[in-house]
Amino acid sequence: MANLIPPHGGKGLTKCLLEGAERDAELKKAEGLLKIAVSPRVKGDLIMIGIGGFSPLTGFMTKADWKGVCDDFLMADGTFWPVPVTLDVSAAQAAEINEGSEIALQDPESGAIMATMKVTEKFELTEADKKYECEKVFMGEGTPTAEEFWKIAEEDHPGVQMVMGQKEFCLAGPVKVLSEGEYPTRYKGIYHRPEESRKIFEEKGWSEVAALQLRNPMHRSHEYLCKIAVEVCDGVYIHSLVGNLKPGDIPASVRVKCIDALVKNYFVEDNVVQGGYPLDMRYAGPREGLLHAVFRQNYGCSRMIIGRDHAGVGDFYGMFEAQTIFDKIPQPEGGKALLCNPLKIDWTFYCYKCDGMASLRTCPHGKEDRVLLSGTMLRKMLSEGGDLPDHFGRDEVIVILREYYEGLTEKVEIKTHKAATGD
């Protein structure tokens, strides 16, 4: 791995996933432990801790870590980290658990044991604490005051709803991960551990790798972002979220088909790698952009493509707030700083007068000459059965998406916002 960026935190890939006889023994021990069902978000975090995607984390955060991350982007040991990674339990469950004891963490859907955990700390997260976390992590330039934020956050921000819906207590401590859930089988060949993506990049001789975060179907703007990155880096890692999304978002299996079609027909395939990761979206905008850069560093990427409204939802964030936040974060020493740098790209679109893809930095023409590309608008138009403007997406991709929408029995209303419409 000498030519690739080192993992975040200065400790290499801190993998907590057990395999073989060691896993079998831990599973047997878990049968006699108190079992705690985890939320979908915690399940994704747990897998990422297990495979080294969240290096240097080896478990869930303490109260001091939580506070430091909220306030200063730093864990208690001084390591940069932008978003709390906590395990919540009810007051009744917390009463059954003593610090120093071991518990088993269980997938609520399958009943499978995901991990064992040694509880080193138990702390309450009050309603005031949850609101504090929401204001620190989710409040952006689109709602610059707490009053403006709370007018709409609890109804319109899925990340805020997730935090405010957490149970009353949190448990901290190291984990031994025993399962990667359904991801290795359902997304075989797409789902990667960091060691696997790093091996692929090494075999290709890449050292400078750019990551494209993807939660929407890949349209012309995404394609253009990737091609810009291919020009300035050795290759691009199209890294698609295969965890849970909000209602109305397009499932991972459909997005993977779209990426396959684009790469096959419009890229030099040797310069692109497609992968998937198991997290749920938090929709934390700028803070989530930083988290994306942290774990992409662990996957071997030295650059994180950050475009318009990265990881945003509604109008909570400034259009390019996820770019400017990289210039404001602390830079601790000893491998504890974020080393994956942003590849900042302006708003991109198709321009009829330019007769091609362009950006606000390169195109002198007006809004009326542009096809403004947005995953939200793409989903809204397709869900309503409308016609798409020319050059909005590649024909091969549109065919896949129309087939998906025609097969839906229930429709979800897609809300538009300023970042989607160009207002």
Mean pLDDT in consecutive groups of 10 residues from the start of the chain, 423 residues: 86 98 98 96 97 98 98 98 98 97 95 97 98 98 97 96 97 98 93 98 97 86 94 96 75 87 94 94 95 98 95 93 98 96 94 95 95 70 76 87 79 51 46
266 and 170 share a domain?
A: no
**Is 68 a member of any domain?**
yes
| Phi and psi angles of residue 121, each rounded to the nearest 5 degrees, phi first | -155, 145
| Phi and psi angles of residue 310, each rounded to the nearest 5 degrees, phi first | -60, 125
Nearest alpha-carbon partner for 219 in 10, 9, 45, 381: 381
The pLDDT of residue 383 is 75
- Residue count (the chain): 423
* 216 noted as active-site residue: yes
The pLDDT of residue 338 is 98
Catalytic residue among 215, 255, 287, 296: 215
Place of tokens 């609101």: 131
Strand partners, 200: none
Catalytic residue among 41, 193, 216, 370: 216
* Token pair belonging to 36: 């705690």
**Is 145 a member of any domain?**
no
The pLDDT of residue 375 is 63
205 and 265 share a domain?
A: yes
71 and 91 share a domain?
A: yes
- Supply the range of the domain harboring residue 83: 20-125+166-179
113 and 89 share a domain?
A: yes
The pLDDT of residue 130 is 98
* 215 noted as active-site residue: yes
User: Cβ atoms within 10 A of the Cβ of 11, count?
Assistant: 14
272 and 251 share a domain?
A: yes
For the chain, how many structural domains are there in total? 2
Quick one: residue 18, left, alpha or beta (phi over 0 = left, psi -120 to 50 = alpha)? beta
173 and 279 share a domain?
A: no
